[in-house]
Amino acid sequence: MKRLTAWCQSLQGRLLLQLLALLVLARLLLAGLTAWGFLPVAEGTLQDTVYLLATTALPFAWVLHRAMRQVTQLEAPLRRAIREDHALPVQNHPTELRGLVEAIDQLLLRQRESLAQQRRFLADASHQLRTPFAVLRTQLQGLMSGQLDAHDALPRMLATVDRSSHLTRQLLALAKVEQLQQRGEWQAVDLAQVARDIAMEFAPLLARKRLDFNLQAVPLSLQTDPWMLGEMVRNLLSNAIHHAPKGSALGMVVRVLPGEAELIVWDNAGGVDEAVRDKLFKPFESASGGTGIG
């Protein structure tokens, strides 16, 4: 009974049941029209019509069964591909199904890449978090043993805690970015307005370092996630403020170029050494004093 119920709920079963229902409906309709005199038919014509419908339906049902069997035969290779982590062989399937097989392969590839990225991220993150906590433990041990003076050690410990907190926030932000990228739900966001909002957010830091800040921005709508765009601008400006000398100039420029948008954050700091410049876009790579995640 369970197998019959499952067959009736399958696509093949539903189509065949609908076809059978159409045959029965056609038989009843023809019989009713004939009985009421709306459709005068000669003797045997009604039976011939039903026989024609039935003989037409049988080949259709056989073709449908063959086509559906080719689809169901994908189940075993698909399970094997997921279990053994490899692609489905496209050439082993009919031409009509190759588009579906290629789409499944793309989905499996994205899943493998996502899992590999998560493994790399967790490995790097655990290493990055282990370092500041090890430093903090050493500082605490030195303080407890009397080897370090509390007046000197506590500010350094506070700085270590601040760096750890900053790194943790950045790790959570990076995880959220990856989640939003997979979701892919974008909306129109004005980059110029985001730049102005972030600049106002950092106004106390700019004033504390007496930085001469300048913002040049034209309205520029982008299809993106507001939070992701804000985090990007926030990280760039925060890094520039951190490295800019006190009393120097710093600014942002938002402008439109042919076919693209451009955001420039500039300062009067010493710049980045060429040795590390090409590595800055990799996770956990940084110049001295950075976290390598922003």
Which band of pLDDT confidence, cut at 50, 70 and 90, is reported for residue 43? very low
pLDDT averaged over every residue in the chain:
74
Say how many CA atoms lie within 13 Å of 203 toward its Cβ: 4
What is the predicted pLDDT for the residue at 1?
62
What is the predicted pLDDT for the residue at 196?
93
Convert the pLDDT of each residue in 113-172 to its tens digit: 777 777 777 777 777 777 777 888 888 888 888 887 878 778 888 888 877 777 777 777
In the predicted structure, residue 294 carries a pLDDT above the cut 50: no
Q: Which domains does the chain have, with CATH numbers?
A: 186-294 (3.30.565.10)
What is the predicted pLDDT for the residue at 259?
81
Kindly state the tokens that stand for 18: 């609908």
Convert the pLDDT of each residue in 57-93 to its tens digit: 666 666 666 666 666 767 677 777 777 666 766 666 6
Convert the pLDDT of each residue in 227-277 to its tens digit: 888 888 998 898 889 888 899 999 999 998 888 889 999 988 766 677 666
In the predicted structure, residue 204 carries a pLDDT above the cut 70: yes
- Give the CA-trace dihedral at 73, 75, 78, 84, to 10 degrees: -110
What is the predicted pLDDT for the residue at 42?
46
Flag the least confident range among 16-30, 149-163, 191-205, 222-236. Answer: 16-30
